[in-house]
Chains A and B, each alone.
Chain A
Amino acid sequence: MPKRTDIKSILLIGSGPIVIGQACEFDYSGTQALKALKEEGYRVILVNSNPATIMTDPEFADRTYIEPITTDIVEKIIAKERPDVLLPTLGGQTALNLAIDLAERGILERYGVEMIGAKLESIKMAEDRDLFKEAMRKAGLDLPRSGYAHNMREAMKIQKRLNFPVIIRASRTLGGSGGNFAYGAEDFKAVVQHGLDISPVHEVLIEESVLGWKEFELEVMRDHKDNVVIICSIENFDPMGVHTGDSITVAPAQTLTDKEYQIMRDASLRVIREIGVDTGGSNIQFAVNPKNGRMVVIEMNPRVSRSSALASKATGFPIAKIAAKLAVGYTLDEIRNDITRETPACFEPTIDYVVVKVPRFTFEKFPQAEDLLTPQMKSVGEAMAIGRTFKESLQKAMRSLEINSFGFEPKLLVSPERREEALRVVGEKLRNPNSQRLWYLGDAFRLGMTIDVIHQLTSFDPWFLEKIREIVETESEIQTHRGRFGEIDASMLRSWKQMGFADARIAALTGAGETEIRSLRKQKGIEAVFNSVDTCGAEFAAFTPYLYSTYEGEDESNPTQRKKIMILGGGPNRIGQGIEFDYCCVHAAFALKEEGYETIMVNCNPETVSTDYDTSDKLYFEPLTMEEVMNIVDREKPDGVIVQFGGQTPLKLALPLERAGVPIIGTSPDSIDLAEDRERFAALLNRLGVKQPENGIARSYDEAFQIAGKLGYPVLVRPSYVLGGRAMQIVYDDDALKNYMTHAVAASPEHPVLIDKFLDDAIELDVDALSDGEDVVIGGIMEHIERAGVHSGDSACSLPPKSIHPDIQDEIRQQTIVLAKALNVRGLMNVQFAVQETNVFVLEVNPRASRTVPFVSKAIGVPLAKIAARIMVGRMFLSKKRCFRSTNFPASIRFLGRK
């Protein structure tokens, strides 16, 4: 059946601001859906409050509302736009919740809006625990066993059916306390009694615990003709008990026999049919008892999810795009597979590589948050890697995280006499899930722990543990070449590279430099090759160049002779670096494609639009490390590389890449360094006669007090060279400074601490500007609503500035222009100012894309990042007056940053 012709307009709801558990994957899914729906000729109306998204770019929907996603507002939009249908399954939980509310309040009915994708009953059945359980029972599927008890006798009876541990949840308690575990008969009685006591209805739910069971997910798609396909199976490295968003996950599932996998597949089909998701994608989670294979259904998401984004990137199957097409009436067999072109989308992808996703945490930024992983998600981002084997993929994923890890670096330095203590520490770290557990596994093997012991502590599947053991074992083999790395032979080195060892890791283990290992490798003819992600295990030819590196025989990258620009993406999301930089990278790709260049994207964040295979001409899904980027450069020989759009990640590579002879386009790496290096920067400001708050650099504990004494409290302290205000603090007295210097940072000559005079009662402003090397234009001046000292990323801001006198605004513009010229900016620049009375101070200059670029671009209706990309390839402003009238702003838009 072709698409529906009875509908003309579609309302799509986005996912709003980024929160933990709901990040840019919904920009990715929304953007795909918008493209798919517009391609079909529908009028699409979009609501999303987050302007830092590609989906809210004006060309994607026919009408875009950057408004809060609340029932009242969306009702007004419905009243005004009168869409025929609402598609709620592509905007995460936010969109789903809103759709439920709109339906339950009768708003959809009142305006005659049909819900497509999933009906209200299905959404509720999937979301409500009791309804879900009931549905699963009806479908004949196994669930964790449980029962309600009203007294100890009933409780004991239920317990007899279950094995320890069990979870005991008191019914109808305020705030729905999470429940307690009982591991044996004694604590069982106590916990049940406590539960009965605190429950107002004297009732407890006793449920079999699946803690430590293996966790699996299946990504399922269904069309309205009831064709159902599994797109991807995912096995969680971390067993049940750690949120899947915080788990290391692996695709496809590794430790299931076909019999077990097919039982899971059959169950998924029954779940999606029983819940009644009409069309689109769902994610279904299972727990498997490793002792006997018993499989229970845990939950299902009747929508595109974080895992769908991962599954799309892992297989090359664009789940969100297909979900949108299915929602408007197509069936799976009517849609072509973009990658193979010849075959339909109605199939199950098979892959000939292993995908590993590793979460990125930021516990170090929040000392008060305990580094303990639980069923509540705590990670802020993730990196995905593709390799031919699990070992290769895992090690690539570890270095994709950009936490300065290139493999299994030891967490502990163990001397033989301290072995007992080390074993105790490692045991502790393995028993309690935490963000560093993967690395402690390396220590555990180095300490001689066996797979059985580690399995006891962690419940990690022995298959994964064996692979890590082999990596650690190979590390000691590599170490035997310490100081004599020149003797490493080609076959040895090749086998290490095939196991995923980074040049940097081999260098660290042999005491060589990374470049020495690289040249040794090149000299021995061991080069990375690039394989395609093709959905079909090479059964059919692939037409979309979506590539990953490995160390095999054949290269499939087929570099062209076209003029090409390579864009380095932002890597995993983290605090201070999120969707905004991906937005800029995507814009660069769009603009340069229009300029006639072949665009090459390099990134490792599966949640993003930039890693969609049709955003750029070529996609390399690779870690953003010197090694991997150089491998691609060597193969593609790009005419230019853009490092200024992806945030701190590619920026760190700017100087080394330039030294390696890579043509960095736009503002020079030296200018970037000039702005980042406090001392060089201060000298520059002095020369230009631009004011900066009084400041100093402390390279020791004592120096810090001297400087603070000189400046006078309060002072702003932070370590040098960081992004996102990590460990930045306002300090009001000696005690606080002492505390900061002892606990937060350790100042040293290599890692100095910056101390600025804190400007009381100052107003902070952010300026985004563009320069083509001759002329400078101001994109926008934003005034922070919060007082100075609140990180700009955490501050609400308004554009244009509300309380700044026009003369001072002119002064700010003037200083911006002077700075841009002095730094010879070609492209984007962001300057942070503080205004105290009539004094203007420069706080920071970033000659690169800033977090505010998407916001400013939307507010003034000018795509700053696109223009910047064009400047970088040599274009000059034509008629800037017409384009960039800074007075021509629309009404101020409130924009909440995040932290």
Chain B
Amino acid sequence: MTEPKAILALADGRYYEGIAFGAAGEAVGEVVFNTSMTGYQEILTDPSYEGQLVAMTYPEIGNVGVNPEDVESRRPFMKGFIVKNNTSRPSNWRAAEPLHEYLKRYGIVGIQGIDTRSLVRHLRDHGSQEGIISTLSDHPDDLIAKAKASPGLVGVDLVRNVTCAAPYDWDEGRWELGEGYKRRAAQTEDTKKRRSKRGSFGAPVFSVVAYDYGIKYNILRNLAESGCRVRVVPAMTPAEDVLALNPDGVFLSNGPGDPDAVPYAKENVEKLIGKKPIFGICLGHQIMGLALGGKTYKLKFGHHGGNQPVMDLTTRKVEITAQNHGFAVDADSLQGAAELTHVNLNDNTVEGLAHRELPIFSVQYHPESSPGPHDANYLFKRFTDLMAKHRSR
């Protein structure tokens, strides 16, 4: 039996021959690497990977298959998946299907059997760049040309591709072993009693509008469980419409690509500043930075993984964080409009901001994790505390 071949070609002329897995076809996008050893299903379904081909540094992927629970959005968004070795016979009590079947179902092109370490070293040394995975062509030169021709994601509005079409409400809590996702307890009778019951959580205390730039479900789950009634709105929703809902706070979500390419997001946030408590994550944080008058820039190869050390400058404690971003806020550009609250210990990039007076803060990393450590989960409480304080005024 000969296995179907696939080629990964990079814009700078490097290419790798491997074996196709998942859907057949061609996928063009920015090639990035992720260093998480667990959680490929969450990564696949993270809308922030829109427009990208993702290489996993951990070589054994697909071990636990795919299950209906570990999803971060309605479908996988990345363009292509690059792994050293896919397992066709997964093993886990929740596994519902093998990874390659899932990729096939959603039309995600995959390549396996390539030297992912040398790819990662190359991206590390030469920066992220456009690439193509093809199961159709065996002419690397043609593919390299296609990769070169790809415009890349700088200046491209990818949020438009991933945001929800219409507003919706969110009611699901966090996942618990043996219980699955927790549901909000029925409101009808004695909520207090039910609050302690496993598998459910209590009635909402705050109302939050969440801008969906490509939001991960686990953010919504955490907001819900922190006592928020969450209304998710499309990225283009005017600030006026949000204010008309009179929420206790506004949340700015993660999302794909270049923050400069979504000027409407920045403009709306500018109108919300000073009106409502705001919490931003990842792209939401970058948009916050822009709205406060700062600038963003593209990192050489970004941060994509679950082991990034971040120091909370107020407590001087370190949290191990999940990250997924290719752009960052330039600290100097803020010129005192906000203070630096969190910093990355690997490369000293900005990881968190807070407005000096207003109830506004944001982080570059992912306190909702999924995948990744839960160290930063306290930030959801920080948000509700802020809303509580602001509301009582």
A residues adjacent to B (C-beta < 8 A): 225-227, 229-230, 233, 252-263, 265-266, 290-295, 331-333, 342-344, 346-354, 388-390, 451, 461-463, 466, 531, 536-541, 552-554
**Contact (Cβ within 8 A) A260 B346:** no
Nearest CB to that of A463 among chain B residues? B91
A252 to B370, CA, bound (A): 18
CB-CB nearest in chain B for A390: B60
Q: B374: which of A262, A333, A451 is its contact (CB, 8 Å)?
A: A262
Hey, which chain B residues are within 8 Å of A263, CB to CB? 177
B139 interfacial contact with A, CB 8 Å: no
Contact of B177 among A258, A293, A390 (CB under 8 A): A293
Show 25 A/B contacts (Cβ-Cβ < 8 Å), sorted by A.
A225-B316, A226-B317, A256-B38, A256-B92, A257-B38, A257-B70, A259-B175, A259-B370, A262-B372, A262-B373, A294-B177, A331-B318, A343-B309, A344-B309, A346-B309, A346-B318, A347-B307, A348-B306, A354-B60, A463-B63, A466-B89, A539-B33, A539-B57, A553-B16, A554-B117
Q: Which residues of B contact A256 (CB under 8 A)?
A: 38, 64, 92
Docked-complex contact B38 and A539, CB < 8 angstroms: no
Q: How far is the CB of A579 from chain B (nearest CB, A)?
A: 33
CB–CB A332/B85 < 8 A:
no
Q: Shortest CB–CB separation between residue B295 and chain A, in angstroms?
A: 25
Residue numbers in B under 8 Å from A389 (CB-CB): 59-60, 84-85
Tell whether, in the assembled complex, residue B118 and residue A553 are in contact, meaning their CB atoms are under 8 Å apart: yes
Q: Does B191 contact A (CB under 8 A)?
A: no
**A260 engages B177 (CB within 8 Å):** yes
B90 an interface residue at 8 Å Cβ cutoff?
Answer: yes
Min CB distance B381 to A, Å, is 16
B311 at the interface (CB under 8 A from A): yes
- Taking CB atoms, residues of chain A closer than 8 Å to B311 are 333
Known: A333-B309, A538-B124. A352 touches B117 (CB 8 A): yes
Say whether, besides A226-B317, A295-B177, A332-B318, A554 and B84 are in contact (CB < 8 Å).
no
Distance of A299 Cα from B393 Cα, bound (Å): 50
Q: Roughly how many angstroms separate A294 CA and B179 CA in the complex, as a whole number?
A: 11
Instruction: Show the binding face of B for A, using Cβ within 8 Å.
Output: 16, 33, 35-39, 41-42, 57-60, 63-64, 67, 69-70, 84-85, 87, 89-94, 115-118, 120-121, 124, 175, 177-178, 305-309, 311, 316-318, 320, 345-347, 369-374
Q: Which residues of A contact B307 (CB under 8 A)?
A: 347-350, 536
**Cβ B89 vs Cβ A291 within 8 A:** no
Q: How far is the CB of A270 from the nearest CB of chain B, in Å?
A: 11
Residues of A within 8 A of B317 (CB): 225-227
Chain B contact surface mostly = loop
The interface residues of chain B lying within 8 Å CB-to-CB of A292 are: 93, 178
Interface centre among A230, A252, A258, A350 (most CB of B within 10 A): A258
Q: Is the CB of B177 within 8 A of A352?
A: no
The residue on B at minimum CB distance from A455 is B91
Contact B94 A257 (CB under 8 A): yes
Residue of A nearest to B304 (CB): A539
Q: How far is the CA of A342 from the CA of B345 in the complex (A)?
A: 9
B346 neighbours in A (Cβ, 8 Å): 342-344, 347, 540
Out of A293, A348, A390, name the residue touching B178 (CB < 8 Å): A293
Complexed CA–CA distance, A344 and B64 (Å): 32
A538 touches B90 (CB 8 A): no
Least Cβ–Cβ distance between B258 and chain A, in angstroms: 22
B363 CB → nearest A CB, Å: 18
How close is A317's CB to chain B, nearest CB, in angstroms?
11
Q: Which residue of B lies closest to A352 (CB)?
A: B57
A332 contacts across to B, CB distance below 8 A: 318
User: How near does chain A come to B196, taking the closest CB pair, in angstroms?
Assistant: 13
Q: B91's contact among A252, A258, A348, A461, by CB below 8 Å, is which? A: A461
In the complex, chain A residues whose CB is within 8 Å of the CB of B124: 538-541
Residue on B nearest A469 in the bound complex, by CB = B89
Other A-B pairs beyond A257-B94, A348-B307, 5, CB < 8 Å: A259-B70, A262-B373, A294-B177, A348-B306, A463-B87
Let me know if A388 and B369 touch, CB within 8 A: no
A871 CB → nearest B CB, Å: 41
Residue picked from A294, A352, A531, most chain B C-beta under 10 Å = A352
A214 shortest CB reach to chain B, Å: 10
Are A254 and B60 closer than 8 Å at their CB atoms? yes
The answer to whether A258 and B38 have CB atoms under 8 Å apart is yes
Closest 10 pairs (CB-CB, A-B):
A258-B39, A537-B57, A258-B371, A463-B91, A554-B118, A258-B38, A348-B307, A553-B115, A552-B115, A538-B120
